[in-house]
Amino acid sequence: MTKTAIITGGGSGLGQSTAIRMAQEGINIAVVDVSEKGGNETVEKVKALGVDAIFIKADVSKAEEVKKYVDQTMEKFGSIDYFFNNAGISGSGKYYLDTTIEEIEQIVGINLLGALYGVRYVAEVMLKNGGGSIVNTASSAGVIGQDSVVTYSATKHGIIGLTKSMVAEYAKDGLRVNAIAPGPTETPMVKSFFEANPQMKENATSGIPQKRLGTPEEVAELVTFLLTSKAEYINGEVIRIDGGFTSTK
C-alpha cells in the first residue's frame, strides 16, 4: 500500500524539496502551505514524478485549520505515515527589544503553536493506526543562542522540547519523533535576504567551517532518511545539518 506524507510549509524551500525527494520514493504527498501559488506548484512537481498529491491551504497558527489539513489528508489518502512538521517564519531580524509584540505573537503562533497543533492532530491519527514517523524543523538557533532572532530561537528550542518529550510519552506505541537543526540554507527566503545584504552572506559563510550555505536538497535527503528509512531505532534525536556551524559553539 502506498504511504502518505504531510508536509507543512510545502510550497517552497525545505518543504518543497522534501516533497519532491519523498515523491521519488513513491510516497503520496499532502502539501500544506498558506501560499496557494507555491503549494500548487509543489503539487505539480510531485505529480510529475508519478505519485498523487493534494494542496491544502492552511494557517498553521490556527488549531482548526491544522485539524482541517489532517482530516482532508485522511479523506483523500486514508492514512498518514510520515509528517514533516516544517512551517515557520524567521521574523524581522531586529534585536529583541526593537521587535513588536505583534511580531512575537506571530512567530510563536506559526513556529511553536503550529508545530504543537500539528503533532497533536497527526500523532492522534498515527497512534490509532499503529504508529508513524515525524520530523520537526528546529534550527541551529534551536541548539545555540544567536542574536537578532530571540523569539525565533525560543520557538526552535521549544521544538526540541516537543520532540524529546513526545518520544518519552509515545515511543512505546510506535511513534518516532526526530528534529532537524539546519544552519543557514539556500532557501528562496534566505537567498533574497542575502541578495539585499551581501555582507550578511559573507558573515554567515565565514562562520561555517565548510565555507558555504547548505542546500534545500541536502536537508531533504536527511528528512527523507529520518522519516522513511529502516533506521527505526533513531528516536528523539536532534540532527544538526549546518556544515559544522554549531560544532565549535
- Structural domain count, the chain: 1
What is the mean pLDDT of the segment spanning 62-84?
98
Q: What is the DSSP letter of 173?
A: G
152 is catalytic: yes
What is the mean pLDDT of the segment spanning 43-55?
98
**The domain that contains 129 carries what CATH number?**
3.40.50.720
Residue owning grid cell 507555491: 38
Within a domain: 143: yes
Give tens-digit pLDDT for 212-228. Answer: 999 999 999 999 999 99
Pairwise CA distance, residues 70 & 125, whole Å: 8
Contact status, residue 159 vs residue 147, Cβ threshold 8 Å: no
Within a domain: 246: no
32 burial (CB, 10 Å; 0-12 / 13-18 / 19+) is buried
Catalytic annotation, pick one of 69, 82, 117, 152: 152
Pairwise CA distance, residues 220 & 19, whole Å: 8
- Is the pLDDT assigned to residue 200 strictly greater than 70? no
244 or 202: which carries more pLDDT confidence? 244
Within a domain: 135: yes
What is the mean pLDDT of the segment spanning 148-153?
95
Q: What is the DSSP letter of 98?
A: G
- Is the pLDDT assigned to residue 64 strictly greater than 90? yes
Predicted pLDDT of residue 193: 61
Predicted pLDDT of residue 192: 65
Predicted pLDDT of residue 93: 86
What is the mean pLDDT of the segment spanning 179-206?
79
Within a domain: 98: yes
Q: For the chain, give the DSSP string.
A: ---EEEEETTTSHHHHHHHHHHHTTT-EEEEEES-HHHHHHHHHHHHTTTS-EEEEE--TTSHHHHHHHHHHHHHHHS---EEEE----------GGGS-HHHHHHHIIIIIIHHHHHHHHHHHHHHHTT-EEEEEE--GGGTS--TT-HHHHHHHHHHHHHHHHHHHHHGGGTEEEEEEEE-SB--HHHHHHHHH-HHHHHHHHHTSTTSS-B-HHHHHHHHHHHHHSS-TT--S-EEEESTTTTTT-
